[in-house]
Amino acid sequence: MSDKMSRMAFLQNFLMKQMLKKQMKGVPEAEQQKVFDAIEKNPDFFMNIAKEIEAKMKNGMDQQKASMEVMMAHQAKLMEIMGK
């Protein structure tokens, strides 16, 4: 990986963590770290989830409902990834 691509990946990771931290306000630090670790180990899976949520939102569904539907559809895999 080139140095430029490495810096870009670092920046994207940093920005994603900052956004998630803001949304996970009130969640214990250890739990937040579990989520960050899971995303770093399974980026394609979580990117797919994000795309599915975005598609539902483009069809008029609110973010919370879209997120819940997609998470429920992938519940087994999420539980496996999170070690529950």
Per-domain residue ranges of the chain: 42-84
Residue 2: per-residue pLDDT: 65
| CB 16, CB 39: distance < 8 Å | yes
Alpha-helix residue ranges (DSSP H) falling in 1-84: 3-23, 29-41, 43-58, 63-73, 75-82
Residue 84: per-residue pLDDT: 67
Residue 56: per-residue pLDDT: 95
| CB 82, CB 45: distance < 8 Å | no
pTM to 2 decimal places: 0.73
Q: Is it the case that residue 1 has pLDDT exceeding 60?
A: no
Query: What tens digit of pLDDT does each residue of 26-79 get?
Result: 989 898 888 888 988 998 898 899 899 999 999 999 999 999 999 999 999 999
Higher pLDDT, 21 or 52: 52
